């Protein structure tokens, strides 16, 4: 109990760094983002349930959905990200149970949703009582002024924040912020799939927070991403 409480405190701190406020009791710890997505989808959806997502989306989600016997429903996008009109139509007529979204530095398009677009997505989800599974793996590269969509619909949003992109893939840790009403289901699925999490890895993240090393590493990742983006832009200039 003491170990779990300490690790949930670490998870709460990590989530706060990414703009997501959550109670310690509503933090679930997973073996990386893919494990967190597996846990979430397994706990909340049943075979043949429909999951809406961008028409271009994370390949790992496609594989996972096929494995679990779920069905993907594409949502149109525009320059701002998910089309609100298309999302509303899909939620109204396709019988979707959840939306999978990557609002920050979307994979593969790299788009980051504006606050206005996020608020629009939240409003559509609330109108139709559709769950949100928000993958925040790249949120450290996004617009820090925009809060997560999950924070706008806390009763529907499951927020997944992994460490592999901002720190290192060797740390197989992700923190899930869950709505209170769904916490037991997600915890039960997490235990059934993983039994326990990697205590050493979580505690290592906590130690990096204490020493300031975590902020230094993330700042370095952001700097490197900026340099590579500029390099790619310079090379591709005139070819787009």
Tell me the pLDDT tens digit for each residue of 154-164: 999 999 999 99
Tell me the pLDDT tens digit for each residue of 164-198: 999 988 888 999 999 999 999 999 999 898 877 77
> Rounded to the nearest 10 degrees, how much is the dihedral formed by the CA atoms of 61, 62, 68, 70?
110
Cβ atoms 150, 134 nearer than 8 A: yes
Tell me how far apart the alpha carbons of residues 32 and 197 are, in angstroms, rounded to a whole number.
10
Average pLDDT of every residue of the chain: 93
pTM: 0.93
Q: What count of Cα atoms within 13 Å lies in the side-chain half-sphere of residue 130?
A: 31
Tell me the pLDDT tens digit for each residue of 206-220: 999 999 999 999 999
Phi/psi zone of residue 4: left (φ > 0), alpha (ψ -120 to 50 degrees), beta? alpha
Tell me how far apart the alpha carbons of residues 42 and 33 are, in angstroms, rounded to a whole number.
14
């Amino acid at each position: 109990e003491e170990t779990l409480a300490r690790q949930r405190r670490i998870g709460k701190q990590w989530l706060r760094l990414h703009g997501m406020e959550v109670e310690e009791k509503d933090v679930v710890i997973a073996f990386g983002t893919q494990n967190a997505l597996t846990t979430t989808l397994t706990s909340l959806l049943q075979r043949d349930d429909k999951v809406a997502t961008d028409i271009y989306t994370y390949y790992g989600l496609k594989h996972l959905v096929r494995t679990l016997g779920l069905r993907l429903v594409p949502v149109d996008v525009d320059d701002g990200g998910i089309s609100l009109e298309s999302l509303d139509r899909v939620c109204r007529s396709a019988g979707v149970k959840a939306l999978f979204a990557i609002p920050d530095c979307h994979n593969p398009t790299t788009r980051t949703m504006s606050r206005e677009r996020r608020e629009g997505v939240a409003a559509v989800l609330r109108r139709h009582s559709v769950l949100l599974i928000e993958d925040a793996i790249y949120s450290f590269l996004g617009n820090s002024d925009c809060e997560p969509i999950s924070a706008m619909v806390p009763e529907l949003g499951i927020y997944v924040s992994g460490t592999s992109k901002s720190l290192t893939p060797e740390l197989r840790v992700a923190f899930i912020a869950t709505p209170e009403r769904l916490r037991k289901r997600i915890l039960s699925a997490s235990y059934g799939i993983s039994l326990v999490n990697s205590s050493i890895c979580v505690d290592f993240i906590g130690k990096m927070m204490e020493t300031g090393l975590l902020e230094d590493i993330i700042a370095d990742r952001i700097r490197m991403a900026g340099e590579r983006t500029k390099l790619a832009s310079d090379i591709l200039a005139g070819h787009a």
